[in-house]
Structure 1
Amino acid sequence: MSLRDLADRIGSAEGADVVVTGVTLDSRSVAPGDLYAALPGFNVHGGRFLADAVAAGAVAVLTDAEGLALAREQQTPVPVLAVPEPRGVLGDVAAHVYGAPSEQLTMVGVTGTNGKTTTAYLVESALRANGQRTGLIGTVETRIGDERLESVRTTPETTDLHAILGVMRERGVDACVMEVSSHALAMHRVDGVVYDVALFTNLSQDHLDFHPSMDDYFRAKASLFTPRRARAGVVCIDDAWGARLAAESGIPTTTLATRPGAPADWTVDEAGAGAFTLRQAGTGACVSLVAHLPGHFNVANTALAALALLGIGLEPSAVEAAMAVAPDVPGRMEVVAPGGLDGPRCVVDFAHTPDAVDAALAALRPSTEGRLIAVLGAGGDRDRGKRPAMGAAAARQADIVVVTDDNPRSEDPAEIRSAVIAGAQEEVRAGTGRAYEIIDGGTRSSAIVEAIALAVVGTGESRPVDTVVVLGKGHEKGQEIHGVKHPFDDRDAVRAALAAVTSSGVTS
């Protein structure tokens, strides 16, 4: 791609006749032929690293007025394109440098507070079962065909996104399914991509450390449902935010309701054991499906995935067949131990918002023979307002709540736990909580051991099997404490705790 052509696209006066073969905003990742995007950062401007970028082979720079001043100060020897808002044009630039790969793929985007990962996995798994070669981008991983890569964030930076899509195109991928976060939408990470279908799961309190209000959070999500970002939408209207989005959507939008009596294009008739019928209003058309993961919210996730498949052209019979295959969704209602005479059922889930905690515990209650024991914490340096609400949700649903550390980051873990415990205790005092014991479990490993020890003591031939559910981190393989990411996997911690507790001779 000619730098002159890029300059014309973004309205920059500079435009030397230089060939650009890649784009990056990380000076440490520059390869020969790259355009280096020197953007303002949280702590330092990318223009401070111009010399490093040029030394690594950058042939041009995209930046703002401050970056231009830094380039002049450093006498940067490559062309500099300066625009008022470089992040706002970077997606379009990256798309053109990599040859607009998303235009040659079927693109499915999933947004919402909870359920993005599960819904994305459901769509991707069904497309693969239908014979398509797929790509997946999300919280857990990035997958290009059979190659799996670790994801740094839910939605990559726009330069990385278009590069990944370019690799997908080169490797013959037919369709890419990706999670689209509110941060990504607000920070232009998905600019340059137009989704064939965009899905909305739900909206509830989260990320209010980044968004100043719930309305701002909603508007970020709603921006996906505009002509420059998607051709068609599917919106679950089970909550008021979904209903508002459906009313305000700027693209053709199909609505889904999973609650009885709600007016929607498609509704759900549940038959039990996860089986349900997705029925179209007016026509009587229906699709018979099974939610492979427990909980009503997974009925909604499954129905959304099915409507996405219909929206990109699959026949109802093909959707039914493809979705009969159960996907493996890491850290989402993942059963680590099935439970029995020698110990509790143990489940790990990513639930990290009040609504998600409530829904996960409610989903496990019907299949829990004994006590439901919840282990949870809240993240540091993030939305503080949801901490007591998460504790309250746990106290409403669980019999025993063990509060622990999530990712404390730079905060005092004990102070975070105290806020969660306060919310749980207030729920019990108000008479709306069922928890009869609320425990400060301390560190995550010790809390998991304590919860499992309680359950093992309560399990035996004459006693019903307890369920221990560890919430908040799901698939994650690290715990961030004071700037250091320590290896930690809830699933491994549960297995280790089970082994330690049962071998120690704890019995009923």
Structure 2
Amino acid sequence: MKLLKDIIYGVRIEEVVGSTNIAIEYVAYDSRKVGKFTMFVALKGTQVDGHEFIDKAIALGAVSIVCEELPAEIKEGVTYVKAVNSSTALGIIAANFHDHPSEGIKLIGVTGTNGKTTSVTLLYDLFRLFGEKVGLISTVVNKIHNEEVESTHTTPNVLDLNELLSRMVERGCKYCFMEVSSHAVHQHRVHGVKFSGAVFTNISRDHLDYHGTFDAYIAAKKGFFDMLPADAFALVNADQTHAETMVQDTKAKVHTYSVTSPSEFKTKVIENSFQGLHLMIDNMDTHMKLIGDFNAYNATVAYAVAVLLKKDKLEVLAALTRLEPPAGRFQQYASETGITAIVDYAHTPDALENVLKTIKNIRKGNEMVITVVGCGGDRDKGKRPVMAEIATRLSDQVVLTSDNPRTEDPDLIIEDMKEGVAAENTPKVLAITSRREAINTACALAHGGDILLIAGKGHEDYQILGTEKVHFDDYEIVTETLKKLNK
């Protein structure tokens, strides 16, 4: 329980109606979670305006309302705080309410179109090997040391984020590695949170359904580095065109990493095979179980961040050799007949091209590459033909199918994808709406030595059909199907 006046300290306030000397037991931005002695923060979301639920929140027991517009009727016994911006106010309120947990832990945020999940997972696993108590906030799962907490967003709402960080601090976690999405920055979901370091992996077309333009997407990513304090570090990929843009206004100390360009933390790929990577990191030889040039970048991020957090270079390299790839990231299964199935989360053009080029570079001869790929519904339509073009250009056979169609017609999504298929590649394309049937067909087409890529969903164990989430696991289906075909 805290006093309202302490919880709103630091918020940009235009007006207060009522007493700030009242006790608050809970803060909520969802009216369904309001109870007695609650502060309700009315957010103007992309789909719902929380101001419409102020009366409901009061009826459920809210004693304080934070809003951008005061309601026409002021209820007696309720304190109204009119803020300049409710979303940024929530960030400060969340930090105050949970006693600023981000100041009690070294919080490292990773942003970029691709590589976020792998990078933070590698860092979490790496620091666990060092014997540290560590937190993880990712698309796949959130962890408080060894306790798993369900993940519903790449980056949680700032109130949930502060609660998670608070629990980490209580459990003695010294570090937390966290994905930071462009949505989160734009929606102020990391406002008021203190980061000790930030990483920029790469940027390519994604989320234009939300941001509108590529420039706006870049600006959202840059906003994360703009908010860093002077005692933080900013680690950027020097091989990326927009790396300098990310840090041009940051107060943090800038460091660089790369695979091809000159940089502070430089990696060279010696060998890339289905058995893993042979790398020279910082002029030191190491082997990793990760596969693909894109994972050379992720490994370099893990190495560089650990070194910037004062870990011994040789100990870091030794620990890197023990790390496993995260689930759904170039996850492999070898059938008894010699078919290699790869399940990967590649759901952007850049990620799909990276995975297929990796396969092309390490295939040995006449193996067929068969790709199963779809595109999500209610998302950026512009990348659909691009995804199909990449798949058909770099594969021998392609099965276009559903991903998470959501409220769109999956057949129409596939038609959008077909627009990117060049005439000469049309014979190699099949369109099968059912994702299960598409995977089964791809397995039936494969022979010993062939390579199957099931792209787009990776770690996800569900499919969103309409508004319903049903169980669906690419890895589970492809392995079961290949086992049956072996019999």
From 393, 398, 423, the equivalent of 2:390 is 393
Distance 1:233 1:60 in 2: 38
Deviates more, 1:189-198 or 1:29-38: 29-38
The aligned runs of 1:367-386 (5 Å cut-off) are: 367-369=362-364, 370-386=367-383
From 319, 327, 347, the equivalent of 2:316 is 319
What's the C-alpha RMSD, in Å, of the aligned pairs?
2.1
- Provide Cα deviations, 1:172-197, integer angstroms capped at 9, x if missing partner: 11111000000000110011112111
Distance 1:287 1:107 in 2: 28
Residue identity (%): 34
> Does 2:143 align with 1:143?
yes
How far apart are 1:247 and its partner, in Å?
A: 4.9
- Provide Cα deviations, 1:406-426, integer angstroms capped at 9, x if missing partner: 111111111111122221x22
Distance 2:244 2:281 in 1: 19
Contact persistence 1:355–1:393 (CA under 8 A):
no
Distance 2:45 2:77 in 1: 23
- In the other structure, the counterpart of 2:271 is 272
The aligned runs of 1:47-196 (5 Å cut-off) are: 47-65=51-69, 68-69=70-71, 72=73, 75=75, 77-196=77-196
SS of the residue 1:420 aligns to = helix
From 357, 365, 369, the equivalent of 2:360 is 365
- Provide Cα deviations, 1:343-383, integer angstroms capped at 9, x if missing partner: 52111110001110011111223444511111000111111
Distance 1:253 1:291, change over 3 A: farther
Contact persistence 2:102–2:194 (CA under 8 A):
yes
State the one-letter code of the partner of 2:454: V
Contact persistence 2:265–2:281 (CA under 8 A):
yes
How far apart are 1:294 and its partner, in Å?
A: 0.9
Task: In structure 1, list runs of 5 or more residues that go unmatched.
Answer: 280-285, 460-464, 504-508
How far apart are 1:102 and its partner, in Å?
A: 0.7
- Provide Cα deviations, 1:50-90, integer angstroms capped at 9, x if missing partner: 3543455433221110xx216x26x3742121113111221
From 350, 353, 378, the equivalent of 1:355 is 350
- In the other structure, the counterpart of 1:298 is 295
The aligned runs of 1:356-505 (5 Å cut-off) are: 356-369=351-364, 370-423=367-420, 425-426=421-422, 429=424, 437-455=428-446, 458-459=447-448, 465-503=449-487
Distance 2:256 2:52 in 1: 48
> Does 2:18 align with 1:19?
no
Contact persistence 1:237–1:246 (CA under 8 A):
no
- Provide Cα deviations, 1:436-481, integer angstroms capped at 9, x if missing partner: 61111221011001100101xx23xxxxx11111000111121112
**Please, what TM-score do these two structures have when normalized by structure 2?**
0.92
- Provide Cα deviations, 1:123-142, integer angstroms capped at 9, x if missing partner: 11111111110110010011
State the one-letter code of the partner of 2:144: I
- Provide Cα deviations, 1:257-308, integer angstroms capped at 9, x if missing partner: 211xx232222222224121223xxxxxx44443422110100111011111
How far apart are 1:251 and its partner, in Å?
A: 2.3
Distance 1:137 1:229 in 2: 21
Contact persistence 2:141–2:151 (CA under 8 A):
yes
Contact persistence 1:197–1:312 (CA under 8 A):
no
Contact persistence 1:51–1:76 (CA under 8 A):
no
> Does 2:237 align with 1:240?
no
Contact persistence 2:203–2:242 (CA under 8 A):
yes
The aligned runs of 1:196-207 (5 Å cut-off) are: 196-207=196-207
Distance 1:226 1:42 in 2: 23
From 43, 46, 50, the equivalent of 1:46 is 50
SS of the residue 1:254 aligns to = strand
Distance 1:396 1:249 in 2: 40
Distance 2:76 2:480 in 1: 55
- In the other structure, the counterpart of 1:6 is 7
SS of the residue 1:408 aligns to = coil
State the one-letter code of the partner of 2:267: V
How far apart are 1:499 and its partner, in Å?
A: 4.0
Distance 1:292 1:28 in 2: 46
**Please, what TM-score do these two structures have when normalized by structure 1?**
0.89
How far apart are 1:218 and its partner, in Å?
A: 0.8
- In the other structure, the counterpart of 1:251 is 252
> Does 2:36 align with 1:28?
no
SS of the residue 1:327 aligns to = coil
State the one-letter code of the partner of 1:115: G
Distance 2:474 2:309 in 1: 36
State the one-letter code of the partner of 1:446: E
Distance 2:325 2:60 in 1: 40
SS of the residue 2:378 aligns to = coil
Contact persistence 2:109–2:199 (CA under 8 A):
yes
SS of the residue 1:209 aligns to = helix
* Count of equivalent residues: 476
How far apart are 1:244 and its partner, in Å?
A: 3.4
SS of the residue 2:210 aligns to = coil
Contact persistence 1:257–1:266 (CA under 8 A):
yes
SS of the residue 2:209 aligns to = coil
SS of the residue 2:347 aligns to = coil
